[in-house]
A and B are shown apart, each in its own frame.
Chain A
Amino acid sequence: MLHFFLLLPFLLAAMLPLLNKLTKELHPGWLAMAAPAFMLFYFLSRIPEVSKGRSLTASVPWIPSLGINLDSNLDGLGLLFALLISGIGALVVLYSISYLHPRKEAVTRFYVCLLLFMGAMLGVVLSDHLIVLYGFWELTSITSFLLIAFWHKREVSLAGALKSLLITSFGGLAMLAGFLLLGLAGGSLRVSELIDSSAVLAASPLLLPAMLLIALGVLTKSAQFPFHIWLPDAMEAPTPVSAYLHSATMVKAGLYLAARLMPIFAGQAPWYILLTTSGLITLLYGAFRAIKQTDLKALLAYSTISQLGLVLTLLGLGSVYPTGSTHEYAVYSTAAAAAALFHLVNHAAFKGALFMTAGIVDHETGTRDLRQLGGLLRFMPLTFTVALAASLSMAGVPPFGGFMSKELFFGSALDAMRSGSWGTAAFLIPVIAWTASAFTFVYSAIFVWRTFGGSRRGEQADASHAAVQEAPHKQPNDARHATMRAPVQETPQDARYETLQETPHEAPLSMLLSPMLLAAAALIFGLFPGSIGPNVLQPALDSLQPGAAEAFTELSLWHGWTPELLMTLGVFIVGGALFLIAPRVPLLNRPLRVLFSWNGVFKGGLRNADRASERLTSLYLTGSMRHYASYVFLFLIVAVAVTTFMTGGFRISFSGMAPVTVYEGIAVAALIAAALAVPFAQSRMMAIILTGTIGYLVVLFFVLFRAPDLALTQMIVETVSVTLFLLCFYHLPALKREKIALRTKLINGLIAAASGIVMTVVALGAFSGRAFPSISDYYLKNSYELAGGKNVVNVILVDFRGFDTMLEIVVLGIASYAIYGVIGLKWPEEKVVERNGLREREFRLIYEDARSNDVILQTLSKVILFLILTFSFYILFAGHHEPGGGFIGALMTSSALVLLSIAFGAKTVRSALPLNFRIVTACGIAVALLTGIGSFAFNMPFLSHAFGYVYLPIFGKNELATAVLFDLGVYLTVVGITMTIILAIGRDK
């Protein structure tokens, strides 16, 4: 059941394009809605069970040999995230239906990507196996890349998408290495099992590198300083994507992992120090940068970075004491973890709502630039209300959820200071927390006031200001509104909207519904923390800190004049003051001028990596064939030599060698002499004849060494090859004496000599000793009993190893088609020839001239042709018992046809045999394949052969085997191939 819901988004994504075709008029968003809606319903219905502390598990084997299964585990933490993913997913899909126009945008693609992302994200939070988790983790990176680059015609979108992909997948790879180390140390890759063995892990030296690598994954995914740079650029995505990925889900995957691994890493100083420190830095840095932004979405991006830092700080503080610690401050560590979870949910609610309102503003006015916006309250009261509620929650104002979690945050920060585990720097934790909260208040106020309050700025479109300032964040989100960029200018005049094509008006309710629901949730979480506390957050907390105390029962809006409340009041006062003076203080409203920018580091790094890899590649990818060939041979020499010596293969025994006769000695000497002469051959003809000589001498050796099949095959192949060489002979350039530097020659010679020596050693080593017993005896023994054939070589080819042969003829077929394609020859059309006298003469010139005028040859070849053909058929059918078979028969037939075409010209062959040899090839492969498939009819495996004995009147007892049928397929294929090759080359002039 769990897996079904895990698969649901993927299934729907696969079917969406088809479904969309069927329901033309319907916005595909409604179809896509099914997945998150069903999932939300399912996960909501699981709350009672999971809140009792039971977790749902399911397992499907994936790579059983590596012990990797699709282990799913729905515990408290998983359920919390699953609810966020499906709940906000449903709202985002609803919102996007009005946001994306079904005819102007590629909506189907959008929803396919969104559903894939949803499934991947769900996979991350439900996987119990770290490798599976990693897989889904990277899938979220890839799908988020596709979503950010949704408007892929814009360069900024692509750049932003690429940046996010590079940074998050870099972290993902580090994380994978960390996972593997963790698995080595703990003996398992399942989170649930690793938690049980955390004592073993704590003692392992691999724990520290594993922790650091995994932390890298967490920090990059959750956009922590200095890896935060990808998030502002990711704002190029359509706003529904930002609302979903960059507020509620993907960026929280890092936080999820930190929470998921908390029981394993709790109490490890490097882990919690790293998490808390980077969390605090990011919290402060993000909040400070957010104040300076002039683009609504950029402001929200930096705000998200800051809020993610806040949650990560809390998770770090929550990991200070190991599970079950009795330290006096251990209970505060639990409180910090509880606060982390609570703030996570609050942030998802208010940030989702804020992104959606930003999208609405952009959609209705055509700009997201705060310097142009203002005074929208009159036009969009509902949007304003939603934005106000969400911003108040973000700023931590009662009675919103954000207030509650921020109070908890202050409490944890103060307790961390008191606990003494942070040394002299302890006071910094509450100080940073407070300062960042003041900044948060400021940017929350900016978001609401500059958009909706006051009057609209910059609507005076005078020509002098027509030069539009262009910076990535200042561009309107939507390309459709590109015409509405107004000049940037601070004018304290009343709202006039002449420059806009239409007066801004309230968004349709369908668009407002989602942010309204989210803003309402932000309020409900504050007023009634009990609504989610005990049944959703507490089970999640139990996953973080098994056996944790109840942390959500005593939550209430009013909890007395605590130091936390005083801090919050201070935030309001200082934040309010900062907001008022912000327009006049350059530090607060000017873009940050920095000497050292992380974006610069990223860009420089990318450029240098590009250059370095190019330089490295050009070192060995020279484009010279000689270089590549020498790499191959050098590797061969080293690999073979090393293995031979390492495995003791280097032994030579001279016993059991066959004696040498004088005759054989002469043949060897001739072969060596011919081989050595080849490199010195000065003409093409000489080189080809020498190579042919070597081929025929090899035939001699095959005869000597009792290999009749080989001898026959080699002889005919050699003949056909020489014909082939001679056909191309006149088209090739004369063999020039190559002008090669002596050094190159020497190196070539050395490589050649070394590989020759290695081969000699291999030959002797292989002869002298066997590592394994040979299987040849099996073939010899069973060839007749099992396969009914006496020619063992042929039986191996067509029966024992029939599948190899099958594929071999396919390879050959492909080679022949390739040759045909390379020649690119159009067979001349008869009709054209007849109609056009001139063409006919040309045709005759080409083809008539090719025919031989030798009468003796013509007369003799007529006789010989039939002899060869008859013999080739005999060889084909006798092959099962006597030397021969499909290959040899086919080659012989082809050589007969070659002879015919030499004597009478190719045209005669074509008219005598009006066959398309490419089709013959295909038929041959089909016959062989059908023979193989035929064995299925008798419930036997592919290519099982049957044979029986038939008594014929004259021939006596005969054996009939399906193997012969298979051999016929081989025969046809090889005839087709050879003739295709020869005719293709012969015809090309």
Chain B
Amino acid sequence: MELLLALTIGILFAVGVYMILARSLLRVILGLSLLTHSVHLLLLTMSGLKAGAPPLLGEKADSYVDPLPQALILTSIVISFGVTSLYFVLAYKSYQKLGTDDTEQMRREADE
């Protein structure tokens, strides 16, 4: 399972990077969220998968899965929500102001 997931992480990350290198701001933002998903899965995979019960002590299980990556990911999900929203608003406002969401075109206009 870990091997399979490692592969998935790689693909998600690669697609995310490819999108970030694109010119359209919308693509960049979507790429960023793919990148985030990939990193979340990476954190989860690191500690091994399905090694025990969920980290709820009420379950009274013999072993639990690692709670630490989960805490990290939870933080990351919320932060990336804030960041994505900010990027989204920036992209959308700059489109309103500049009439384009193409970064190369914005750059050319900035030079002029």
- Fill in one digit per residue for B45-83: 1 if any A CB lies within 8 Å of its CB, else 0: 111111111111110000011111011011101110111
Cβ contacts under 8 Å, A764 to chain B: 2-3, 6
Interchain CB contact under 8 A, B26 and A687: yes
Enumerate chain B residues within 8 angstroms of A736, measured Cβ to Cβ. Answer: 24
Tell me whether B5 and A796 are in contact (CB under 8 A). Answer: no
- Minimum Cβ distance to chain A for residue B64 (Å): 6
Give CA–CA (A671, B7) in the complex, Å. Answer: 11
A621 to chain B, nearest CB (A): 12
> Given contacts A728-B88, A819-B89, are A780 and B64 in contact (CB under 8 A)?
yes
In-complex Cβ contact of B78 among A774, A775, A887 (8 A): A887
Given A668-B5, A671-B8, A714-B77, residue A763 in contact with residue B49 (CB < 8 A): no
Most central of A725, A735, A756 by chain B CB within 10 Å:
A756
B46 and A766 contacting across the interface, CB-CB below 8 Å: yes
From B28, B42, B78, B111, residue with most partner A Cβ within 10 Å: B78
| Chain A residues within an 8 Å CB radius of B6 | 760, 763-764, 767
A-side contacts of B37, CB under 8 Å: 694-695, 698
Scoring A residues 670 to 700 as 1 if CB is less than 8 Å from chain B, else 0, what string do you get?
Answer: 0110011011000010011001001100100
Most buried by A among B33, B45, B67: B67
A985 to B19, CA, bound (A): 24
Contact between chains at A752 and B57 (CB < 8 Å): no
Query: Once the chains bind, are B55 and A664 in contact (CB under 8 Å)?
Result: no
Closest beta carbon of chain A to B96's beta carbon, Å: 7
Name the segment of A233-241, A538-546, A582-590, A622-630 touching the other chain.
Answer: A622-630
Name B82's contact: one of A725, A738, A763, A977 (CB within 8 Å): A977
Contact between B15 and A760 (Cβ–Cβ < 8 Å)? no
A405 → B minimal CB distance (Å): 63
Contact B101 A733 (CB under 8 A): yes
**Taking CB as reference atom, which chain A residue is nearest B106?**
A625
Contact A695 B78 (CB under 8 A): no
Give the nearest-CB partner of A684 in chain B.
Answer: B26
Residues of A within 8 A of B52 (CB): 706
| Closest B residue, CB atoms, query A984 | B89
Is A477 part of the binding interface, using a Cβ–Cβ cutoff of 8 Å?
no
> Using Cβ atoms and an 8 Å threshold, which residues of chain B touch A797?
71, 74-75
Write out, one digit per residue, whether chain A residues 426-439 have a CB within 8 A of any chain B CB (1) or not (0): 00000000000000
By a CB distance below 8 angstroms, the chain A residues around B75 are 797, 804-805, 808
Interchain CB contact under 8 A, A706 and B17: no
Q: Tell me, in angstroms, the Cα distance from A808 to B96 when the chains sit together.
A: 30
Chain B residues with Cβ under 8 A from A313's Cβ?
none
Known contacts A671-B8, A790-B58, A720 near B90 by CB under 8 Å: no
Please give, as numbers and ranges, the residues of chain B lying within 8 Å of A678 by CB-CB distance. 15, 19, 30, 34
Please, which residues of chain A bring their CB within 8 A of the CB of B23?
626, 738, 740
Tell me the chain A residues, 283-312 only, with Cβ under 8 Å from chain B.
Answer: none
Q: B10 touching A760 by the CB < 8 A rule? A: yes
Q: State A775–B72 Cα separation when bound (angstroms).
A: 13
Q: Which residue of A lies closest to B14 (CB)?
A: A756
A752 and B12 CA atoms in complex are apart in Å by 10
Q: Are B10 and A626 in contact (CB under 8 A)?
A: no
Known contacts: A660-B1, A678-B15, A756-B10. The answer to whether A708 contacts B54 by CB under 8 A is yes
Asked whether any CB of chain B lies closer than 8 Å to the CB of A749, the reply is yes
B12 touches A675 (CB 8 A): yes
A811 within 8 A of B: yes
User: Quick check: is A717 within 8 A (CB to CB) of the other chain?
Assistant: yes
B26→A694 contact, CB < 8 A = no
Alpha-carbon gap, A728 to B11, bound state (A): 28
Name the A residues within 8 Å of B19 (CB-CB). 678-679
Task: Choose among A624, A695, A780, A801 the residue that contacts B104 (Cβ–Cβ < 8 A).
Answer: A624
The 0/1 profile, CB within 8 Å of B marked 1, for residues 630-668 of chain A is 100100000000000000000000101111100011001
Interface pair B22/A738, CB less than 8 Å apart: yes
Whether A748 is near chain B, meaning CB under 8 Å from some CB there, is yes
A775–B61 CA distance with the chains assembled, in angstroms: 19
Q: Is the CB of B70 within 8 A of A710?
A: yes
Interface residues of A, count at CB 8 A: 103
Given A707-B65, A717-B81; A757-B17 close (CB under 8 Å): no
The residues in A between 801 and 860 inclusive whose CB is less than 8 angstroms from any CB of B are 801, 804-805, 808, 811-812, 815-816, 818-819, 822-823
Q: What's the Cα separation between A774 and B65 when bound, in Å?
A: 12
Q: List chain A residues, Cβ under 8 A from B79.
A: 808, 811-812
With a CB–CB cut-off of 8 A, which chain B residues contact A626?
A: 21-23, 103-104
Query: Which of A717, A721, A779, A977 meets B68, CB within 8 Å?
Result: A779
Separation of A978 and B41 alpha carbons in the complex (Å) = 25
Q: Which residue of A lies closest to B61 (CB)?
A: A706
Chain B CB within 10 Å, residue with most, of A705, A731, A733, A887: A705
Q: Which of A684, A687, A708 contacts B56 (CB 8 A)?
A: A708
Are B50 and A658 touching (Cβ within 8 A)? yes
In the assembled complex, which residues on chain B have CB atoms less than 8 Å from the CB atom of A630? 21
Q: Is the CB of B85 within 8 A of A819?
A: yes
For A982, the closest partner residue in chain B by CB is B85
Contact of A812 among B33, B40, B82 (CB under 8 A): B82
A134 within 8 A of B: no
Complex contact B45–A763 (CB within 8 A): yes
Cross-chain contact of A780 among B45, B55, B73 (Cβ < 8 A): B55
Known: A678-B19, A767-B48. A624 touches B89 (CB 8 A): no
Which one of A735, A774, A815, A883 lies within 8 Å of B47 (CB-CB)?
Answer: A774
* Structural contact, B86 and A819, CB atoms closer than 8 A: yes
> Across the interface, do B56 and A732 meet the contact criterion of CB distance under 8 Å?
no
Residues of B near A779 (CB, < 8 A) are 67-68
In-complex Cβ contact of A763 among B5, B65, B73 (8 A)? B5
Q: Which residues of A contact B34 (CB under 8 A)?
A: 675, 678, 691, 694
Question: Which of A656, A687, A732: most chain B CB closer than 10 A?
Answer: A732
Given A793-B74, A881-B58, decide whether A756 and B8 contact each other with a Cβ distance below 8 A: no
Taking A694-B34, A753-B14, A812-B82 as given, write out 17 further A-B residue pairs in contact, using a Cβ cutoff of 8 Å, ordered by the A residue number.
A660-B1, A675-B8, A694-B12, A707-B44, A721-B85, A725-B88, A731-B95, A732-B91, A748-B18, A752-B14, A759-B38, A780-B67, A783-B57, A783-B67, A823-B89, A882-B56, A977-B82
Chain A residues with CB under 8 Å of chain B are 623-626, 629-630, 633, 654, 656-660, 664-665, 668, 671-672, 675-676, 678-679, 684, 687-688, 691, 694-695, 698, 701-702, 704-710, 713-714, 717, 720-721, 724-725, 728, 731-733, 735-736, 738, 740, 748-749, 751-753, 755-757, 759-760, 762-764, 766-767, 774-776, 779-780, 783-784, 790-793, 796-797, 801, 804-805, 808, 811-812, 815-816, 818-819, 822-823, 881-883, 887, 891, 974, 977, 981, 984-985
Q: Which 8 A-B pairs have the closest CB atoms?
A: A756-B14, A760-B10, A752-B18, A792-B67, A763-B6, A790-B57, A815-B82, A796-B71
Query: What are 21 A-B pairs at a CB distance below 8 A?
Result: A625-B103, A626-B22, A630-B21, A664-B4, A665-B4, A676-B15, A687-B27, A698-B37, A714-B77, A735-B27, A748-B21, A756-B10, A763-B6, A763-B45, A766-B45, A779-B68, A784-B57, A790-B56, A791-B57, A792-B57, A815-B82
